[in-house]
Chain A
């Protein structure tokens, strides 16, 4: 008996030693976990340039969005917190807003009023609620890039900085009839951001909204037009995740994507490409600003240090350094220096042209959807798959998908966000 208990005990002890013996790397360090600036070169720039001179020296850790969510949820569920500061996109922070996973930063927001963060941007960090849950960190948007070889085929009289969707389709058709190839590309692959194109660009441009006019006649007409445009789109688009790759290889000449997913092409071959805003539809030139925010998880080990770091990260000088190092643009009032690299200049010019276009129609990221953000995206991707890829009639598909959309809106009770007209209670699907 004695021996057995001894064996058992030593086995248990050995097991415990294995489980608990791994040192948790410097528990006293402030961990800054980010889903942005993940590639090794960018992360190095964060550590060596952006965080240089910070009042607190954090450990900068990066993770893909999916494991990021799992990690944060696990830390909250087990009440064992290692992360003091998180940097992530608006949509990635959103699932934590309704569950109380993020600490309110109202005092900090008040202290930062002199930094010149636009009110609309700051409001995004409240997710439609009362408390400031993140402080805007950096911003970007989507635009289009074209190989200069495509320029001779531009439709007659078209201004590349004021294209319409009809002209884009004509452009693609011109190229196709001249070269026999479909040279427009969209990031519709498994990790592409195609849903943002529908939510922030196509839908508002044609219907003036996203949710309310989801199954309107204007939306039906839009899908018919888009099906037409898709005839000149490279069929490999459903495999494209980052448009910089097919643009660089020459598989496509014209591509739409997020600035961070085009920047490689622009910096590697700045002389080969032109950049310009996304096209416009009958209701204007809709575009979606992309916002990354800084938040402090509830129960963070070092909230004070995290606040200090946020203050550092949104200093004008840090913001300019960030733009130069990684191509994300300031959220505060800070002028970019004129000696930017040619690739970054291309990006800046497209972003400025997008924001400054006469018919510009900013369409915000979905607000108040909580953990239903993924299902919301799915409605648009499913509609695209059924109408455009499988050739079903838009009317029937829109009516059916509108049911799913309505359910998401009523379940979350999310009010409309711009450019949909404001609503009392859940945003209605007409």
Chain B
């Protein structure tokens, strides 16, 4: 009896820690979202849905996530496959590729702002190459395509590394012999990738996608730094309602929406990318 309790005691601190600092605020947030004038109500949600930025925030968030996440996954798989073929210096390359992991969202946003603003490095470079004669704007409400492109590039730069690290770890578990055997039977490199490598790293892809998608729905710093009020996304709207408009209920409603979307995305990934136990390596 005593022995069987020890594992529970050992994990107790982390469970308590999470419960106190995650579950309690979560319950409070949900409570706040459904409360108005001290009564249960959907008022916060109708205020949120009626706001002029709500549909834009939903549209922008999904647009960025649907563009960024697949691109990042493709890029990460490509990079990790290339990494496999390196004979020497793999660790150095991997280390350099994962540098952006250590940089905060907002810091990355500010860095790209320094590159892309009117007097930024990009314009200086183009000017010194005589490609432009005066500063070009990329980040205004008049240039929505360039602004979206800038956010996507910055997100790719910052967050591809997390997908890469997970995919690399997954690839390392795949024995090289499988590919060699397939080669002996005349499989092309594409066939090997499509029929052997990809199915074997599916669990890692699932993990990477869940992590990355949930984080992408929570993107904030980069969008705020580059787009300001021009590109409302769900979390920046939550921030605006909390701090500028000082309506905590509507901010909580946004938080609940973000949470529901993240949960739904996670469930979809768990279902679609399910690996039956008998297929696991």
Contact = CB atoms under 8 A, between A and B. Distances in A.
The contact size tier of chain B is 20 to 34
Contacts of A235: 137, 140-142
A95 B246 contact: yes
B172 interface: no
B243 A66 contact: yes
A344 to B, nearest CB: 28
A378 B5 contact: no
Contacts, number: 62
B168 to A, nearest CB: 37
A3 B141 contact: no
A239 B134 contact: no
A181 B134 contact: yes
Interface string B90-117: 0000000000000000000000000001
Contact of B224 (A188, A190, A389): A190
Contacts of B2: 3-4
Contact of A69 (B117, B228, B245, B246): B246
B118 A236 contact: yes
B9 interface: yes
Nearest to B51: A382
A154 interface: no
A386 interface: yes
A132 to B, nearest CB: 24
A189 B228 contact: yes
Nearest to A250: B119
A249 B2 CA distance: 70
Contacts of B117: 236
B234 interface: no
A292 B35 CA distance: 33
A238 B2 CA distance: 64
B16 to A, nearest CB: 8
A21 interface: no
B52 A385 contact: yes
Interface string B1-44: 01001000100110000000000000000000000000000000
B141 A4 contact: no
Given A4-B5, A188-B229, A238-B141, A180 B246 contact: no
A17 to B, nearest CB: 14
Nearest to B236: A190
Interface stretch (A260-268, A322-330, A367-375): A367-375
Contacts of B224: 190
A251 B119 contact: yes
B276 to A, nearest CB: 41
Interface centre among A11, A235, A377, A385 (most CB of B within 10 A): A235
